[in-house]
Amino acid sequence: MLSKLSITLMVLYPVIAYIALWLEQPTLIIAYLLIIITLFALKLCLSKRLLAGAGIFILIGVTGYFIQKPGVEYLVYLPPIIILISLFMLFFQSLRQGETPLITRYARLLGDKLEERHLRYNRYLTLVWAIFLLSMAAISIILAIFFSRDAWSLFTHVISYGLIAALFIIEFSYRKYHFAGEIEGGFFQFISKIIKIRPSSLK
């Protein structure tokens, strides 16, 4: 129950964040994130990981104390940038010698063919995603430093998700063409399968 609620709140985060900044209420974003983190801490406690849960609750308390302090609104810039950089590192590190590219790990769980040409394609695709995510993070940082908060919010909470969706669609269409006759199902079926994969299964 807590996991489903947390996922729902995280999915809604871009919309909530964009609306909050449009209303010039950045502290609402921080409060919203604290709710998500609180649910995560509760899940840890219920899983008997009390030390980790207690540590997060302390962090929540400290953040809550400073939420009304001057300059706290700048914290809203951090989550999207941290997420993009973390995802970039996840993709990029999987390309190291001896590691299995992240896309190949997904392909195995999806039951895709893994001949040499598929493995080569998956490696290139992992690199494409890594470069894409790093570029998104760089643009977000540049907008945060040199442009208005509204411009940053529009890109980070709206345009970036459109670009991610576009890359998924373009890649799927290209793969359908490149591996003609080997890809079963449509785009939404493909996305549905990806969503069902648990991150822990990718290790």
Residue type, 73: E
Cβ contacts of 63 within 8 Å, gap of 6 or more: 30, 34
Cα dist from 114 to 94, 140, 171, 187, 197, whole Å: 17, 35, 17, 20, 18
Q: Lowest-pLDDT range, 49-58, 86-95, 157-166?
A: 49-58
**What mean pLDDT value characterizes the chain?**
82
- In angstroms, the CA 141 to CA 126 distance is 23
DSSP letter (8 states) at residue 197: S
Each residue of 26-53: pLDDT tens digit?
Answer: 878 888 887 877 877 777 777 777 777 6
Tokens at 47, concatenated? 């899983």
In the chain, beta strands by DSSP E: none
Residues 6+ apart with CB under 8 A from 74: none
Measure the CA–CA gap between 177 and 115, rounded to whole angstroms: 17
| pTM of the entire predicted model | 0.79
Q: What integer is the mean pLDDT of 104-120? A: 84
